[in-house]
Structures are given as structure tokens and as C-alpha cells.
Amino acid sequence: MSPISKVIKAHQPALQHYHTHPELSFQDKETGTSIVSHTSALEAYEVFPRIGDHGVAVVLKNGQGRTILLHADLDGLAVEEKTRIHSCGRDMHVTALLAAAEALASAKNEWNETLILVFQPAGKTARGAQVMMDDTIGTKHGLMASAADSFHHASTPNRSIDPDYTVITVSAIHAGDAENIIPDRADIGLIVRSVAPFTQERVLSSICRIIDAEASALNAPQPPELNPTTQFLFLFNDAEVTSALEKAFSAYFPPASHGYDLDIPRLSGSDDFEILATVIGKPSCLFLYGGLDPKMWDKAEKEGKLLELAVNHSPYLALVIEPTLTVAVDGYVAAALTFLEKHT
């Protein structure tokens, strides 16, 4: 068994721990504490706990040169799971980055420069990365993730009924609590997914105009209130960083039907991790790895039922531990070593 395989196998209990101890956004205290304990035990990293409440950053300085940052989210979702894995995969993300931390530390004689690992809180809120930056923590080309504007989470509408790539999803309606009492108010939650700034501006403007017009037409006694709750910005993968990862991943991962894909579909979901880079003027790249059983995928594809497979944030999402964990750790390690040079 290779050294990295031993590291991955040793971290499978951690995966089970994070799965059975999920925490919501800005409530991920115990997850952060566990990460501090785990990374401190490696005796290789300088550990910075409680950044932006419960975020953690660990730093391994291994000579002069560039600084590379790898990232994972801490928080889970308030979803009743119907499978053995969390519906957003946060347990897999955290475990994979912890395993990569150990693998890269044990191989520090093979690389130089500086490695930072960031375990970010509240990744589901569009505020987690920013609160870490406010607390003074110092692959596909182009657009990778859509902008998202929430009022009062629908990230894969193309996997639902009546899809449209620019989508307004009304995902929550609360009015009254008894069938024979007329409620005095109605709270409606919606989210907008867009892939171009012009479209985003036009749709948001249209929403305000339509809501005001409907209220006026119905002679509502009070004007409606539209209260933004979250705002994810557009996420663009840097061309140079993405090209370097394409070369590294193409060489490392086998070019098979379930191997490396250098032009994956653009996400209709959103992520705020890019803030960690843009706030200091540095490039970044969001790369993805799959987690479904390859045999299940092949069967669904053969039968024309790919759209029936559960996706992220579904209670029926069924990630397999292997090869997902191995691919995730290999991806983290390969990405870091793509840029961390060995000085002679």
C-alpha cells in the first residue's frame, strides 16, 4: 500500500465522524475545533483557529517562493438525509483536505515554498469567506459558478422540472398556520441564478418591478418588502492557473470515461471561496470531483435516466466513499504540487 493510500485509509474514521456530527452555517464550532486538534497533531503546520468565528487556517512554510492555498467548507445543510453521506458532501470535503494536509506534510522534502489550507465556515451563506477576510486572514476556463441573489436554494434547476439557465426559483412560502384564519402576512423566499452580469441586473430589476406592480394591482394595504439575504458573486477560474491544473490532472488521472474532463459543464450553483484570492489580487481555480458510483452512473446513462440521479443538496444524494475520497485527496495534492516547486 502506497503512503498516500495509508493516509487515506487512516482518515476514513474522520469521514464517519464529520458525517455523524454535522453543523450548520456559523454553528460549525465543533468541526473547527476538531480540525485544529487534527492539524496540530501533525506538528508541521502553524495553526490559526477561530478565524471568522469557527474558520481555521493552517500554514506550512517550507522555503521562499510562492504561496498556494487549498480550501474546504465546514458547514452542512438542514436536510434530512436519506443516505449515508451528507447532501452537500461537506464531510468528504473536510476529510479530503485533512488527508491532503498529512500527505503534503509528510512529503515536504519533495517541495518548497508555502502551503496554506483554509477550512471555511458558513460556505452556504455567501458570507463565510468574507468574514474570514474581515478577520484579517492574510477546472474550466472563465466563468465557473453563477451569481446567486437570495431573498427572504435552488442550485441545479436544470435537474428539475421546466429548466431555464437564468432561473428564478420560489422555494419557500409561509402564510398563516390554520386553514380557517386569513393570514395578515405572507413570507416568500426566492433565489435567482444568473450567468452574466447584464442578465443578473435585468432580472433583479424585473423582480422588484413585478412585485410592486402586483401589489399595486391587488390594492395591497402596505407595499411589499424585498429583503436580500445572501449574494454570491460570479466565480471566474483564472486562465493560467486552470491551464496548469489541466496539464497536471491530464497526466495524473487516467483518461477514461470516469477520468479527467478538461471541460466540465459550468455550474449553476455558486461558491464564495474566490473572495479569499480576489481580496489580495491573486488568481484561483475551482475544480470539481465526482462522487457517485460509476456503475450506477453508467447504468443510468445507458437507460437515459441521468436526470433521475440525485444531486447536491438532495436528501437522496448517495456519494460513495471510494473512489471519491482517493480522487479528492489526489486532486488536492496534485493541485498543490503543480505550483509548489522543489528548490535545488
pTM: 0.77
Q: How far is it, in rounded angstroms, from Cα 38 to Cα 56?
A: 11
Q: How many domains does the chain have?
A: 2
Is the domain of 136 the same as that of 155? no
Is the domain of 41 the same as that of 186? no
**Residue 287, pLDDT score:** 92
Phi-psi region of 290 (alpha: psi -120 to 50; beta: other; left: phi over 0): beta
Query: Domain boundary residue among 231, 255, 274?
Result: 231
**Residue 242, pLDDT score:** 94
Is the domain of 13 the same as that of 103? yes
Is the domain of 114 the same as that of 203? no
DSSP per-residue codes, 197-209: HHHHHHHHHHHHH
Q: How far is it, in rounded angstroms, from Cα 337 to Cα 330?
A: 10
Is the domain of 314 the same as that of 182? no
**Residue 153, pLDDT score:** 46
344 residues of the chain, pLDDT tens digit each: 567 788 988 898 888 888 788 777 777 788 889 999 999 999 999 999 988 778 899 999 999 989 999 999 887 766 777 766 555 677 888 999 999 999 999 999 999 999 999 998 866 666 667 766 665 433 556 666 666 666 654 455 555 544 466 788 888 899 988 888 888 888 999 888 888 888 888 888 988 999 999 999 989 888 898 888 888 888 889 999 999 999 999 999 877 777 888 888 887 778 888 888 888 899 999 998 888 888 898 999 999 998 888 887 778 888 888 889 999 999 999 999 999 988 77
CATH assignment at residue 288? 3.40.630.10
**Residue 163, pLDDT score:** 45
Using an 8 Å Cβ cutoff, are 16 and 95 in contact? no
Q: How far is it, in rounded angstroms, from Cα 123 to Cα 274?
A: 11
What value, to the nearest 5°, has the Cα angle with vertex 126 and ends 315 and 140? 80
Query: Domain boundary residue among 198, 231, 264?
Result: 231
**Residue 136, pLDDT score:** 47
User: Could you tell me if residue 344 is inside a domain?
Assistant: no
Is the domain of 123 the same as that of 166? no
Q: How far is it, in rounded angstroms, from Cα 198 to Cα 195?
A: 9
Q: How far is it, in rounded angstroms, from Cα 25 to Cα 19?
A: 15
DSSP three-state, residue 146: coil
Is the domain of 34 the same as that of 132? yes
**Residue 264, pLDDT score:** 84
Is the domain of 9 the same as that of 45? yes
Is the domain of 178 the same as that of 312? no
Q: What range does the domain containing 36 cover? A: 3-146+236-339
Query: Domain boundary residue among 231, 260, 294?
Result: 231
Other Cβ atoms closer than 10 A to 239: 12
Is the domain of 34 the same as that of 124? yes
